[in-house]
């Protein structure tokens, strides 16, 4: 059982750096409000007309629906799901892909914040966002390459007039949240936004043996500064600085009979602390002849300190991890006559300090330390041609090279250690890939649109940084490749009266990267020779009256291993873990007056095997959410509820019958004022 829990731990020591002094800061409501005039939003597109397979939500929608983390967003979308050990560090899956995010060196679903890649597991609380966009399928025409998809988060721009807001939220489980924001126009076409906030909660777990039973608590502090400047040449500069510091307990794993009641009998709370700092500088300008320039440079650092309650497995288990990354993404695009084009370049350097400890001495202990440096260089582009008035054909290509180097040392000790001793190794791997893409698009003035996409997906190779031996650590696993086909069609009526859409997709995977246990119980990444993910997604919306909008979405997915045998077990034909075959959502939004809004939704997920112990199944469940909001000229107030039926479901399982329960019923009140 010892190393079987290694999957639980990729987390670093906290990063304590002040982004802003608190004095004079007019913090930002994580998605503050409409009273302040805002500048036009930035449209970030890599193609002349990107196929709309995915999801886009604005900041106000995230706030109204109380979607606090990426996990909250994913749990409420068709053919998306979550696998998580804690609330703050969810692993987001898109169409069954992305499960290995907290174990593998490779990234199948990158997350960017204002164009800068960030470890999605360290993101935690969402705040001060203007837009969240999720793209599905291989994304090769953006800076970071995502084989399963791409999550792009955009912060809120400064407002065009001076003003601010203050928001307070109070909820069950002792949840308290205070956020504030301020916008200030400066001289010479420069605008400033400052935002900050804090959130405290006792958490959902009730420990039955400790005097202080709130052992899944959290304390979050976050801040954001953004400058927008319009220069004399018509260009726009955006400088964005983020800092987040989240600390909390880690009492989530429990036997299923306790987890179903959100209870625990652990002897201590454990630790789950994450922090990140991110800086982004963007420049956008239209040059001569309609050529558009877009450039983003930035850097991020994250720290993750993750330690399980020692009483769980009678061992000290976890790590303090840190990582950094800087990147540059440069893009030119234009159009002339029936042709349009886009050409981009991306460079990224990253490093990670990844230790791990499992110590149940004197019986068994293991430790490892991996220092990893990775680089990615890519050229990408697309050439579009209007082959007919309503048809556009667009071939594209991405040329990518990945280089990774690792210094590893580690070993085992104790009475039951298989090969006691300390060893070390240095290893490197470099691979290049050519990733073609072809899109055929149809668009008509009457609201009809469609697309057919053929794309090659790619996930870079890496190393098993948590291996128990030098041989296992130094052996790189292969890159994964995918052949992706997607067909979609959308139809909409006039004046936003109704819309329907359908998407069908097939992704054939070669050398898919999956995590399993080796002969010593250590979790390692291996290559699955063949697998596939195929399915359909349906959506629609209807306004029977101007004040009422009804919407629905449904997804079906068949994501299976075609050829996969490990440790003498044949997994061929099995559905991917944490991937419900069926999912869907019904929602109603009623706005009887300009100042009132009521929203109700129901999200269904079928049962699914859990990860990493796929013998445990999370039951089918329904999440019922609701919100009621009122706003006046300056004041606003609202009520919200999530999982109002208190559905029981699970997000992770490890051997020994331990599971992590999904978020229970949550409800609260929020109030705010603009000034």
- What is the spatial distance between Cα 333 and Cα 290, in angstroms, rounded to a whole number? 9
Is 464 in contact with 524 (CB distance < 8 Å)? yes
For 407, the 3-state DSSP assignment is strand
The answer to whether the beta carbons of residues 379 and 396 sit under 8 Å apart is no
Concatenate the DSSP letters of all residues of 546-588 into one string.
Answer: TTEEEEEEEEEEEEEEEE-EETTEE-TTPBPTT--SEEEEEEE
CA 640 – CA 645 distance, rounded (Å): 13
Q: Are 569 and 577 in contact (CB under 8 A)?
A: no
In the chain, % helix, strand, coil (3-state, to 5) comes to 5, 60, 35
What domain count does the chain have? 1
Specify the length of the chain in residues.
Answer: 675
| Owner of token pair 């128990």 | 468
DSSP annotation string for 155-204: EPPPBSS-EEEEEEEEETTTEEEEEEEEEEEETTTEEEEEEEEEEEE--S
Are 225 and 156 in contact by the 8 Å Cβ rule? The answer is no
Is 246 in contact with 220 (CB distance < 8 Å)? yes
Distances in Å between the alpha carbon of 365 and those of 253, 266, 362, 468? 21, 21, 8, 11
> How many whole angstroms separate alpha carbon 435 and alpha carbon 397?
6
- Give CA–CA dist 393/452, Å, rounded: 10
Which DSSP letter does residue 259 get? H
Please work out, in degrees rounded to the nearest 5, the angle formed at the alpha carbon of residue 107 by the alpha carbons of 242 and 85: 75
Range of the structural domain that residue 524 is part of: 3-674
Q: What is the rounded distance in angstroms from the CA atom of residue 8 to the CA atom of residue 5?
A: 5
Half-sphere exposure of residue 237: CA atoms within 13 angstroms, side-chain side: 13
Q: Mean pLDDT of successive 10-residue segments in the chain (675 residues)?
A: 32 33 33 38 43 83 94 95 91 91 78 93 91 95 93 95 96 97 93 98 96 95 97 95 97 96 96 97 94 98 96 93 97 96 98 94 92 97 96 98 96 83 94 98 89 96 90 92 97 90 98 81 86 97 96 98 91 95 98 96 97 92 98 96 98 92 97 97
**Nearest CA to 182 among 229, 240, 230, 226?**
226
**Does residue 60 sit in helix, strand or coil?**
helix
Q: How far apart are CA 272 and CA 436, in angstroms?
A: 41
Give me the half-sphere count of Cα atoms (radius 13 Å) on the Cβ side of residue 609: 14
Phi, psi of 257 (to 5 degrees): -65, -30
Angle 348-349-350 from CA coordinates, rounded to 5°: 120
H or E, element range at 73: helix 70-74
* Cross-strand bridge partners of residue 117: 112
Both structure tokens of 184: 């200030």
Establish how many alpha carbons lie within 13 A of residue 48's alpha carbon, considering only the half-sphere containing its beta carbon: 28
Run of H or E residues at 350? strand 339-359
The answer to whether residues 92 and 54 touch, using CB atoms and an 8 Å cutoff, is no
Q: In angstroms, rounded to a whole number, what is the distance separating the alpha carbons of residues 127 and 62? A: 10
Query: Contacts from 258-263 at CB under 8 Å and sequence distance 24+?
Result: 258/208, 259/650, 259/658, 259/659, 259/660, 259/661, 260/648, 260/661, 262/204, 262/205, 262/206, 262/661, 262/664, 263/205, 263/206, 263/207, 263/208
Asked if residues 665 and 646 have their Cβ atoms less than 8 Å apart, the reply is yes
Cα 197 to Cα 221: distance, rounded to the nearest angstrom: 6
List the CATH number of the domain containing 250: 2.40.170.20
Nearest to 118 by CA among 260, 223, 274: 274
Distance CA 225, CA 174 (A): 29
């Amino acid at each position: 059982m010892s190393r079987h829990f290694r999957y639980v731990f990729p987390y670093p020591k906290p990063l304590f750096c002040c982004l802003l002094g608190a004095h004079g800061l007019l913090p930002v409501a994580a998605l503050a409000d409409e009273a302040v005039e805002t500048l036009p939003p930035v449209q970030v597109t890599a193609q002349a007309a990107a196929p709309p397979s995915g999801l886009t939500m604005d900041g106000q929608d995230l706030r109204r629906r109380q979607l606090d983390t990426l996990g909250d967003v994913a749990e409420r979308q068709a053919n998306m799901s979550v696998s998580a050990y804690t609330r703050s560090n969810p692993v987001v899956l898109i169409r069954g892909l992305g499960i290995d995010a907290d174990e593998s060196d490779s990234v199948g679903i990158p997350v960017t914040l204002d164009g800068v890649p960030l470890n999605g597991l360290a993101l935690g609380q969402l705040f001060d966002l203007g837009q969240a966009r999720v793209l599905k399928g291989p994304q090769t025409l953006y800076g970071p390459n995502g084989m399963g998809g791409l999550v792009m988060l955009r912060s809120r721009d400064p407002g065009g007039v001076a003003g601010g807001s203050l928001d307070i939220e109070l909820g069950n489980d002792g949840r308290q949240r205070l956020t504030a924001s301020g916008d200030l126009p400066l001289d010479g076409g420069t605008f400033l936004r400052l935002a900050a906030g804090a959130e405290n909660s006792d958490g959902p777990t009730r420990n039955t043996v400790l005097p202080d039973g709130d052992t899944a608590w959290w304390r979050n502090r976050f801040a954001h500064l953004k400058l927008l400047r319009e220069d004399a040449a018509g260009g726009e500069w955006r400088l964005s600085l983020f800092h987040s510091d989240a600390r909390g307990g880690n009492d989530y794993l429990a036997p299923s009979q306790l987890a179903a009641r959100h209870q625990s009998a652990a002897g201590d709370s454990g630790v789950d602390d994450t922090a990140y700092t991110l800086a982004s500088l963007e420049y956008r300008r239209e040059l001569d002849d309609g050529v558009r320039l877009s450039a983003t440079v930035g850097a991020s650092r994250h720290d993750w300190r993750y330690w399980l309650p020692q009483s769980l497995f009678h061992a000290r288990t976890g790590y303090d991890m840190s990582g950094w990354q800087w990147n540059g993404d440069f893009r030119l695009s234009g159009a002339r006559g029936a042709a349009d084009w886009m050409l981009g370049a991306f460079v990224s350097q990253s490093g990670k300090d990844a230790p791990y400890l499992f110590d149940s001495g004197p019986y068994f202990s293991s430790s490892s330390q991996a220092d990893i440096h990775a680089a990615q260089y890519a050229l990408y582009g697309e050439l579009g041609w209007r082959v007919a008035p309503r048809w556009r054909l667009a071939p594209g290509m991405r040329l990518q090279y990945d280089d990774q180097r690792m210094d590893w040392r580690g070993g085992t000790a104790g009475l039951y250690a298989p090969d006691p001793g300390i060893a070390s190794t240095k290893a490197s791997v470099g691979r290049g890939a050519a990733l073609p893409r072809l899109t055929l698009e149809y668009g008509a003035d009457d609201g009809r649109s469609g697309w057919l996409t053929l794309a090659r997906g790619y996930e870079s190779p890496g190393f098993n940084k948590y291996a128990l031996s030098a041989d296992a650590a130094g052996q790189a696993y292969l890159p994964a490749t995918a052949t992706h086909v997607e067909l979609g069609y959308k139809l909409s009526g006039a004046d936003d009266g109704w819309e329907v859409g359908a998407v069908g997709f097939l992704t054939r995977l070669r050398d898919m990267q999956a995590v399993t246990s080796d002969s010593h119980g250590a979790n390692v990444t291996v290559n699955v020779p063949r697998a596939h993910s195929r399915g359909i997604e349906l959506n629609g919306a209807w306004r029977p009256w101007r004040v009422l909008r009804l919407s629905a979405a449904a997804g079906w997915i068949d994501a299976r291993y075609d050829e996969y045998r490990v440790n003498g077990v044949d997994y061929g034909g099995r559905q991917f873990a944490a991937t419900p075959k069926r999912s869907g959502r019904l929602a109603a939004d009623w706005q009887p007056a300009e100042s009132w809004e009521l929203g109700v939704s129901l999200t269904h997920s079928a049962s699914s095997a859990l990860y990493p112990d796929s013998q445990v199944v999370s039951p089918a469940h329904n999440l019922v959410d609701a919100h009621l909001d009122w706003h006046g000229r300056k004041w606003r107030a609202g009520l919200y509820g999530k999982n109002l039926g208190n559905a029981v479901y699970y997000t992770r399982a490890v051997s020994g019958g331990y599971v992590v329960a999904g978020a229970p019923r949550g409800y609260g009140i929020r109030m705010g004022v603009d000034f």
